[in-house]
Structure 1
Amino acid sequence: MTMDGLLSFFSEYGVIIVSIAALVASSGFFSGSETALTAVTRARMHALEATGEKRAGVIERLIDKRDRLIGALLIGNNLVNILASSLTTTLFLKLFGGSGVALATIVMTVVLVIFSEVLPKSWAISTPDQFALKVSRPVRAFVVLVGPLSAAVNWIVRKILGVFGITLTGVSMLSAHEELRGAVDLLHREGSVVKADRDRLGGVLDLGELEVSDVMVHRTAMRMINADDTPETIVHQILDSPYTRMPVWRETPDNIIGVVHAKDVLRATAETNDVNAVDIVKIAQRPWFVPDTTNLKDQLNAFLRRRLHSAMVVDEYGELEGLVTLEDILEEIVGDISDEHDIDVRGVRQEADGSVVVEGTVPIRDLNRALDWNLPDEEATTVAGLVIHESQIIPEERQAFTFHGKRFIVMKREKNRITRLRIRPLEEAAAAQD
């Protein structure tokens, strides 16, 4: 084709060609914007807005009404795609006659897939924050422009789905805690977050789901002082105890009349220079009783508000169940594991054959955290309680059970209490039998 022919061609069809190119570029804009704006997180935009990035605030307001945003972008994308395809078909019909429809379909499919879908979406997903910030203001203007049309389309869609009994108002969404937990678990699997940090973050998120009965020291394991003992005996008990605070009871262990602090006992002893002159009841602090159903988040806030470190736990009948301390709650967050691969939980011992010997009173959560297991702790708090709950009996010694991917063998039982078990994963159990 000669130069005059080219000039004649572009003078006749140049406007159509430029229009098609502009429409394809607009389609890429809508596709990339949709991908970027659905990939950004509200938390990231909030952090950027706090640093002074005003466009991040625009994005937050856009994704706050995500259905309206997506509806507007889809309307714009389909509008320009249809118009570009129509213009291309018109152009090819003039150039190639009847075969122009087929050629236009092939050409526009390739062009739209490459330049309107794959290219802009790949670019947007690689840098969603930067892409979203750049398109935020144009997208906002477009959403405002076609907002009423988008709302009308959404209304029609909801009505059509309603005919088939489908409603969009009941769509389940992950809670903020579930999103955080999922993100932390994903980062842990990818190696960006170590196990200890994952456990600490998970402990913070779990505070509102756990109750004080899940972390308390049971009454059978509490160290308490009898107020009727001699002062000398009481002082020796306090000095021999690893705890700084001990409950004081009188007549029966259920009748808690106070909580004594070791420092107060030492101070009273120093003032009188006579151990037998110390009156434990007078120096003991008034006990604080809390229900066993109090969740850990509320209990932690109560500890901080009242500036206390311990509380007595009672059931719905007012009977003593145990003792919960501030340290018990903090351990749910920070844990007591010294190394990712070492087991450093009281009552847990790793054997050379790969099995784990566990005391029955070991909390399931501590065992899961130490060994990265997923034993359920909804119905039982301790390992012994889990075995009894799953077996529906009080097992005999040497009796074995298999559930939740583990083999549990009862090693020792005292009266109706399981005091020691051996646990091994099913894979290791099968290997040991072979």
Structure 2
Amino acid sequence: MTETTLWLAGSAVIFLLFLSGFFSGSETALTAASKARIHQVEKTGDRRAAIVSRLIASRERLIGALLLGNNLVNILASALATTVFLTLFGEAGVALATLVMTALVLVFAEVLPKTWAISNPERFALAVSPLVRIVVGVFGPVVVGVEAIVRVLLRLVGVNVGADTSILSAYDELRGAVDLQHIEGGLEKGERDRLGGLLDLAELEVSDVMVHRTNMVALNADEDLHKLVEQALSSPHTRLPLWRGETDNFVGVLHAKDLLRALHAAGGDTDKIDILNIATPPWFVPDTTSLQDQLNAFLKHKVHFALVVDEYGEVMGLVTLEDILEEIVGEIADEHDVELEGVRPQADGSVIVDGSVPIRDLNRASDWHLPDDEATTIAGLVIHEARMIPEERQIFTFHGFRFTVLRREKNRITRLRIMPLTQTAGLKTNIPGATPTVPKNAAG
């Protein structure tokens, strides 16, 4: 091999290492680039962003083309380097070429370009997208064949990879990103809760957030109007359901503002007012309606109040626009709201909770993760896990917490003490399931 040939081979090795770095950096940038940011840049009219979006949409083919190009240039560079070193150093050239090429590929073709790309993946992806599009176009037919071979081989070992296989839904990806940002300090707890609440609307039903009928404030339409006015004024609520004959026969919804208008128009004479004429017809919605659909329905119909019915048409409770918004922004209180003492933290780290407190509200307030799939309230969770209606002073251990039943009224658990096991000294935490015990001094 002549001196000129050696120089040409060495220059080719350097050029091939540059190409290898280009492929490695492009792969890192295009797989790490945020789809949302690229979409925003695309909306400004940047053609390169449109190219990046199309490349990311065919991620499997993109990665296959870049890996194919990377392997080609790496193998060719190694072969040329081996030839050069054999000419210069004889048989020892193989070992030297292996050491030198390993170092060069590691530093200049892998670590350096990937570190550069990951530092600002969107900008790097925009810069390389025109060239990568050409590479994908050239290697595309080969990659298609490779994909087919890979799918067949995976199917032989029981792994079925479909063309449209997606491990995470868009909601799951967003929720994971929100949780990760909170862990890394990018989002405060309140911001995480609000974003998480917004993402949960599609998974929750109105039965999860409704006011149960046992807690509803309703008015008897047959009562004297003076009493109705007193009850409406003493209530913290603006909209009140009306019933007639039987407590589950709802005939309308009274708005306090409409009542005041009617009183003003009648000169304060209640005998001139028919309560049903100023009430609006009740709106009944199924208990299985998702919060997202119900929110859209509230906005569409410009109504803030609906009665919730089960599959038999029986009224289970009521849901308001405020109830849904509170799932997003947390508890909304004004000067007319009555603060309910449902959660009372104790000095020993435990929390005394009313049985009617929703699990989601308790999780949000205490940053806990109690499951709310099978029950809505904390009392319902204890009954579900215990598979029984507990007696007072019984203790149950599950989901990393110790639950002590403090008060029971008939078949309802009205008060519990909840203690995280991490704060319980001397308590065995390896009790499987919901194992009840009755200690001597469990009541508190």
Residue 192 (structure 1) aligns with = 186
- Compute the displacement of 1:308 (Å): 0.6
1:368 to 363, 366, 373: 363
**Matches of 1:42 and 1:326, distance apart in 2:** 33
Q: How does 1:406-417 map to 2 (within 5 A)?
A: 406-417=401-412
Residue 209 (structure 2) aligns with = 215
Residue 245 (structure 1) aligns with = 239
- Compute the displacement of 1:92 (Å): 1.5
Residue 341 (structure 1) aligns with = none
8 Å Cα contact 2:421/2:427 also seen in 1: no
**Matches of 1:374 and 1:105, distance apart in 2:** 53
Residue 100 (structure 1) aligns with = 93
Q: How does 1:8-157 map to 2 (within 5 A)?
A: 10-157=3-150
**Matches of 1:393 and 1:162, distance apart in 2:** 47
8 Å Cα contact 2:326/2:332 also seen in 1: no
Q: CA RMSD in A?
A: 1.7
Which residue type is aligned with residue 36 of structure 1? A
8 Å Cα contact 1:345/1:370 also seen in 2: no
Distance 1:26 1:73, change over 3 A: same
Q: Name the SS of the counterpart of 2:187 in structure 1.
A: coil
**What do the CA deviations read for 1:140-161 (whole angstroms, capped 9, x no partner)?**
1111111111111111211222
**Matches of 1:314 and 1:300, distance apart in 2:** 17
**Matches of 1:401 and 1:21, distance apart in 2:** 69
User: 1:232 and 2:226 equivalent?
Assistant: yes
8 Å Cα contact 1:336/1:345 also seen in 2: no
User: 1:262 and 2:259 equivalent?
Assistant: no
8 Å Cα contact 1:347/1:358 also seen in 2: yes
**What do the CA deviations read for 1:39-79 (whole angstroms, capped 9, x no partner)?**
01211100111233221111100010011000100110000
Return 5+ residue gaps in structure 1 as ranges. Answer: 1-7, 339-343
Which residue type is aligned with residue 170 of structure 2? A
Distance 1:19 1:316, change over 3 A: same
Q: Name the SS of the counterpart of 2:424 in structure 1.
A: helix
Q: How does 1:277-316 map to 2 (within 5 A)?
A: 277-316=272-311
8 Å Cα contact 1:230/1:276 also seen in 2: no
Residue 180 (structure 1) aligns with = 174
Residue 353 (structure 2) aligns with = 358
- Compute the displacement of 1:176 (Å): 1.0
Residue 430 (structure 1) aligns with = 425
Moved more, 91-100 or 312-321: 91-100
Residue 331 (structure 2) aligns with = 336
**Matches of 1:20 and 1:432, distance apart in 2:** 67
- Compute the displacement of 1:101 (Å): 1.5
Which residue type is aligned with residue 286 of structure 1? P
**Matches of 1:377 and 1:199, distance apart in 2:** 16
**Matches of 1:40 and 1:328, distance apart in 2:** 38
Could you state the TM-score of these two structures normalised by the residue count of structure 2? 0.92
8 Å Cα contact 2:221/2:275 also seen in 1: yes
Q: Name the SS of the counterpart of 1:254 in structure 2.
A: coil
- Compute the displacement of 1:166 (Å): 2.2
**Matches of 1:114 and 1:38, distance apart in 2:** 21
Q: Name the SS of the counterpart of 2:248 in structure 1.
A: strand
Moved more, 135-144 or 348-357: 348-357
Which residue type is aligned with residue 213 of structure 1? S
Runs (4+) of structure 1 moved beyond 3 Å?
none
Q: Name the SS of the counterpart of 1:430 in structure 2.
A: coil
- Compute the displacement of 1:337 (Å): 7.9
Which residue type is aligned with residue 348 of structure 1? V
**Matches of 1:82 and 1:406, distance apart in 2:** 58
Identity %: 61
Q: Name the SS of the counterpart of 1:349 in structure 2.
A: strand
Return 5+ residue gaps in structure 2 as ranges. Answer: 334-338, 429-444
User: 1:385 and 2:400 equivalent?
Assistant: no
**Matches of 1:218 and 1:346, distance apart in 2:** 17
8 Å Cα contact 2:396/2:402 also seen in 1: yes
Which residue type is aligned with residue 40 of structure 2? A
Q: Name the SS of the counterpart of 1:17 in structure 2.
A: helix
**Matches of 2:232 and 2:372, distance apart in 1:** 34
**Matches of 1:40 and 1:254, distance apart in 2:** 56
Q: Name the SS of the counterpart of 2:249 in structure 1.
A: strand
Residue 4 (structure 1) aligns with = none
Moved more, 205-214 or 181-190: 181-190
Which residue type is aligned with residue 173 of structure 2? E
**Matches of 2:5 and 2:236, distance apart in 1:** 95
**What do the CA deviations read for 1:7-56 (whole angstroms, capped 9, x no partner)?**
x9742411111011101111111111111111012111001112332211
Moved more, 417-426 or 345-354: 345-354
Moved more, 213-222 or 423-432: 423-432
- Compute the displacement of 1:237 (Å): 0.7
**Matches of 1:276 and 1:430, distance apart in 2:** 67
Distance 1:12 1:265, change over 3 A: closer
**Matches of 1:336 and 1:291, distance apart in 2:** 24
**What do the CA deviations read for 1:222-277 (whole angstroms, capped 9, x no partner)?**
00011121111111111111111111111111100111111111111222221243
**Matches of 2:261 and 2:106, distance apart in 1:** 82
Moved more, 172-181 or 240-249: 172-181
